[in-house]
Amino acid sequence: MWAIVACLAFFAIEAQATTPDEFVEDAVDQLARTLDGRKEELAVDAEALYAVINEILLPRFDRRFAAGQVLAKHWRRATAEQRNRFVQAFYTAMLHRYAEGVLEFENDRVEVLPYRGDDSKRITSVKTIVRLEDGTRVPVNYTLVKKPDGWRMFDVTIEGVSYVRNYRVEFDSEIRASSLEEVITRLEDEADNGLSEEVVTETEDAEAGASGE
């Protein structure tokens, strides 16, 4: 269940919307349009699937902010090169891990709840409900950060479990047992086995422009 819901959460993201709930509502519609009539094709063509997801996700997901939240104190101690490598390796490894689940996406299975937060703050959350095939209703909360060009997602909480906190604990334990360099190398190996680097770099300029880097 986690893989399916995580995919719906990570990939249902739209960048240009005026309010946090519109950000998510527009995302659901765009993802539905993108996948319409292409699921069978993408199910047998991994590179095409990665490219489609990457095109939607990369300009809308704040990879660097998310990476900093995940590594926490280890991010502050990392060199600039290590940070850049971790950002790309973590993103590509995560994308490969959850990619197939996006094919389970159905527009009518996501309900965006009325927004009750404060969109004047830098960080806010939007609550949604994802309905699985068996009828189970899963609460999914998106955590967004406000950037000059609009909202961008950096965390998702599924049934009370935050992906940022989960990965923070996992990587902290692994780094303590080995080193940050070894963790980055492992992620790079995992990423290389799934998503080709060319797929990411094709839209790297778009992300850099959106984030102002």
Measured between alpha carbons, how far is 28 from 8 in angstroms, rounded to an integer? 9
What's the confidence (pLDDT) of residue 135? 84
Q: What pLDDT score was predicted for residue 207?
A: 46
Q: According to the model, what pLDDT value does residue 201 have?
A: 46
Q: Give pLDDT tens digits for 24-52.
A: 777 777 777 877 888 888 888 888 888 87
Q: What distance in Å separates the CA atoms of residue 121 and residue 133, rounded to the nearest whole number?
A: 36
Share in percent of the chain as helix, strand, coil (round to 5): 60, 15, 25
pLDDT at 210: 40
CA angle 128, 107, 102 (to 5 degrees): 90
Predicted local confidence at residue 84, as pLDDT: 96
Cα distance between residue 32 and residue 34, in whole Å: 5
Structural domains in the chain, sorted by start? 2-195 (3.10.450.710)
- Give the chain's residues under pLDDT 70: 1-17, 57-59, 105, 107, 194-213
122 burial via Cβ count (<10 Å: 0-12, 13-18, 19+): exposed
Transcribe 162-208 into DSSP letters. EHHHHHHHHHHHHHHHS-HHHHHHHHHHHHHTTS-HHHHHTTHHHHH
Please provide the distance, in angstroms rounded to a whole number, between the alpha carbons at the two ends of the chain.
Answer: 36
Task: For 155-177, write each residue's pLDDT tens digit.
Answer: 989 889 998 999 999 999 999 99
According to the model, what pLDDT value does residue 112 have?
A: 86
